Chain A
Amino acid sequence: QKEVEQNSGPLSVPEGAIASLNCTYSDRGSQSFFWYRQYSGKSPELIMFIYSNGDKEDGRFTAQLNKASQYVSLLIRDSQPSDSATYLCAVRIGGGSNYKLTFGKGTLLTVNP
């Protein structure tokens, strides 16, 4: 069974700190990895996409991928109260015409002022 695992949290960090969110996946055929942010009662929005091993930075966000360890993470630097949300890890398994994503259950992040 293809699984995507995340710590459900809540993860609580002070304003200005680095928040580290982790995700592991079971299928070695996984090719593309997405981080979505979901505010309470709202729909998810994409914040990062990564497919190569290593780091990918976009503003305050850094995605890290290690395919050998089947691990993807999201770092949020200088965390702000507006970053408080649930962060969903999603994995695209396979390629070609397969466009399905498998989502983890999400990690609730709270940034305290």
Chain B
Amino acid sequence: DGGITQSPKYLFRKEGQNVTLSCEQNLNHDAMYWYRQDPGQGLRLIYYSQIVNDFQKGDIAEGYSVSREKKESFPLTVTSAQKNPTAFYLCASSVVDRTTTLYSYNEQFFGPGTRLTVL
């Protein structure tokens, strides 16, 4: 089955700890994204990557770090510098059509999410 997997489903973090959330996709997508969702809120972009070994900060990158060493994998580390990390974290991926015109269709496919709670 093709898709995006995230692990773990639930994660508990103590104050001052770094934790890493896993995201793997077998859709052969070039682009991958990390979002954070708080209760009653939309999705806010943390980091994104459109090619291996390259990534860009999103709107709320402070306190987070990522790596993109393989096309299939885009792990997110929540560092102790992130003061309010309790949230639902969603990973997504999409194609990158380099021949596209202005109106490209680039559906983002989402993983099942990781719910992080700080104890």
- Which residues of A are interface residues toward B (Cβ below 8 A)? 4, 6, 8, 31-32, 34, 42-46, 49, 51-52, 88, 90, 92, 95-97, 99-106
Number of B residues whose C-beta is below 8 Å from A? 29
Whether a CB of chain A sits under 8 angstroms from the CB of B43 is yes
Whether a CB of chain A sits under 8 angstroms from the CB of B53 is no
Whether a CB of chain A sits under 8 angstroms from the CB of B105 is yes
8 closest A-B pairs by CB: A95-B102, A43-B110, A103-B42, A105-B42, A51-B103, A103-B43, A46-B107, A43-B113
Scan residues 89-104 of chain B and give those whose CB is less than 8 A from a CB of chain A.
90, 94, 96, 98, 100-104
Q: Are A95 and B110 in contact (CB under 8 A)?
A: no
- B31, B35, B106: most-surrounded residue (chain A CB, <10 A): B106
Alpha-carbon gap, A102 to B60, bound state (A)? 13
Alpha-carbon gap, A31 to B100, bound state (A)? 13
